[in-house]
Amino acid sequence: MDFLVENLSAITWQQVVMWVIGGLLIWLAIKKEMEPTLLLPMGFGAILVNLPFSGAIHTLEELFNAGISNELFPLILFIGIGAMIDFSPLLSNPKLMLFGAAAQFGIFFTLCMASMFFDLKDAASIAIIGAADGPTSIVVAQALNSKYLGAIMVAAYSYMALVPIIQPPIIKLCTTKKERLIRMPYVQREVSQTTKILFPIIITVIAGIVAPDSVALVGFLMFGNLIRECGVLNSLSDTAQNVLANLITIFLGITISLRMQAAEFLAPETLLILGLGLVAFIFDTAGGIFFAKIYNIFAKTKVNPMIGAAGISAFPMSGRVVHKMGLAEDPQNFLLMHSIGVNVSGQIASVIAGGLILNFFM
């Protein structure tokens, strides 16, 4: 009985708070279907590591060292993500990539904001929440040796899941009704197989030359895409998209929860990081929209500024949000192909932004 009393008396209120947070993440994952593949393992892991004298911590530390410290898990996951992405809408209208670039504004704005409270490496790790891309956030935060990895991950994945709630009010605030009604007819342009094959190779080479530290991020993403597009590795593409991605996702979420131990996680900094993550998402969205407005000043064919918001990366939620908002304004305004194209470009731009951040601070 003594051991039971000892264990019970070792429970701290901070651990109980973490159980509640873990329960909340599980609830959000199951009931609200918010990024369930990541939030559910993270929620369960938050409970697991905050049990008194938890024997799981040692195992999770081993997993952390095997897959997160060396950035292996997020990079392998990138192969799966690359295999899932169809770049065709982007390749048929390459100008859309510029909106993806503009929508990384939130990352750099948040870097400046976070630097008021944190040292530069931690500020950069927090800013990359604005990449709206979990693996990039993990790689950057880990490479910069941030001690706030747990909070950064919770913020990154929560806000990605909250894109349908966060973005619409900002889009409405930054655009007029007249702008939201701009129609964008979609002209289907044929994209050759050669272009689809050369595109990931070209991106990798360019990113590697400009930001060598990002070449792992970009390279793994584009390797996955090359497997998809080459046409002779359908079985590998299928495995990368499903089995590989699922396997890594299972371990990724629960392993990250190691950084959700009460002593580390329950700090004022965590709330601040959650706030700064929101700032990053807001300014990403606004950056994309205002760039589209500037583009319209010079362009012959106007674009609907809402598509700029899809450059936030969070794929494919952001593209769908913009499409739905377009339909809500005008049931005949189909923005999906444009918004998905911008959304995909945001994926590329966010990875390049991550590489630039690493170049600045490593």
Partner 1 sequence: MTFNPMNFISNLSYMAVGMVSIFIVIGVIVALTMFLNMVTNIKAIVAEEEAAKNNK
Could you list the residues that contact partner 1 (CB under 8 A)? 91-92, 94-95, 97-98, 100-102, 104-105, 107-109, 111-113, 115-118, 120, 123, 189-192, 194-195, 198-199, 202-203, 206-207, 210-211, 268-269, 272, 345, 348-349, 352-353, 356-357, 360
Eight-class DSSP state of 145: T
Contact 306, 343 (CB under 8 A): no
CB of 276 to partner 1, least distance (A): 12
Contact 29, 253 (CB under 8 A): no
Of residues 118 and 157, the one with the C-beta less far from partner 1: 118
Closest by Cα among 278, 289, 336, 331 to 311: 289
Percent helix, percent strand, percent coil in the chain, to nearest 5: 80, 0, 20
The token duo for 8 is 């019970």
Tell me if the bond preceding 36 is cis, omega within 30° of 0. no
CB of 340 to partner 1, least distance (A): 16
Contact 251, 64 (CB under 8 A): no
Of residues 46 and 356, the one with the C-beta less far from partner 1: 356
CB of 215 to partner 1, least distance (A): 13
Of residues 32 and 95, the one with the C-beta less far from partner 1: 95
Of residues 71 and 269, the one with the C-beta less far from partner 1: 269
Eight-class DSSP state of 127: H
CB of 192 to partner 1, least distance (A): 4
CB of 90 to partner 1, least distance (A): 8
End-to-end CA distance of the chain: 52
Of residues 166 and 351, the one with the C-beta less far from partner 1: 351
- Residue 104's identity, in one-letter code, is Q
